[in-house]
Amino acid sequence: MKEKDLRRSLSVLPIGTVMKLTSLTARQIRYYEEQGLVSPERNEGNRRMYSLNDIDLILEIKDYISDGMNISKIKNVYEQRKQEAFNSGSRNKLSDQEARRLLSDELLNVGGLNSKDVKGNNSF
DNA sequence: ATTCTCACA
DNA sequence: TGTGAGCA
């Protein structure tokens, strides 16, 4: 059952495809990478190659940004969740899935305290 | 035709 | 972020 997971993680999509699938501009997509939100591979021509997982992640990032959240905050949460998942769960079978799951969880939380305060929970 | 990096309106 | 320049 991990074969699909593997395929899902294969970076074979050029940025052009990602643009169409996410409705984002190349600029934005590259910018997210710059902020450490996505980590596309690079082919021999230095071209960015994205995986389906990347698409998924970018799609979510796009959503959160649409909800009016700062890149830095998303970045922060994502890296934080990623490391926690790495330390507590399986330290080898990374958490592309887990990370994304945790990411959305945290992000919803953080998103709520965006225009309010930090004492309570998410204002959902 | 496509993508890349860099830099500026 | 958009956009254009100059490469690969």
pLDDT tens, position by position, for chain A (124 residues)? 788 888 888 989 999 999 999 999 999 999 999 988 898 999 999 999 999 999 999 998 898 888 777 766 767 777 666 566 566 655 555 556 666 677 766 666 665 554 444 444 433 4
Q: Which helix (H) or strand (E) holds A19?
A: helix A15-22
Q: Is the CB of A15 under 7 A from strand B?
A: yes
Q: Is the dihedral of CA A110, A53, A58, A80 positive or negative?
A: positive
Domain containing A11 equals: 3-112
Q: Which nucleotides of C are covered by protein (CB under 7 A)?
A: 1-3, 8
Q: Which residue is nearest to nucleotide B1 (CA to C1')?
A: A16
What is residue A6's predicted lDDT score, i.e. its pLDDT?
87
CATH number at residue A9: 1.10.1660.10
CA atoms within 13 A on the CB side of A63: 10
> Would residue A8 count as lying in a domain?
yes
How long is the CA A116 to C1' C8 vector, in angstroms? 49
What is residue A2's predicted lDDT score, i.e. its pLDDT?
80
CA distance A17 to A104: 24
Into how many domains does chain A fold? Answer: 1
> Would residue A123 count as lying in a domain?
no
> Would residue A38 count as lying in a domain?
yes
State phi, psi for A28 to the nearest 5 degrees.
-65, -45
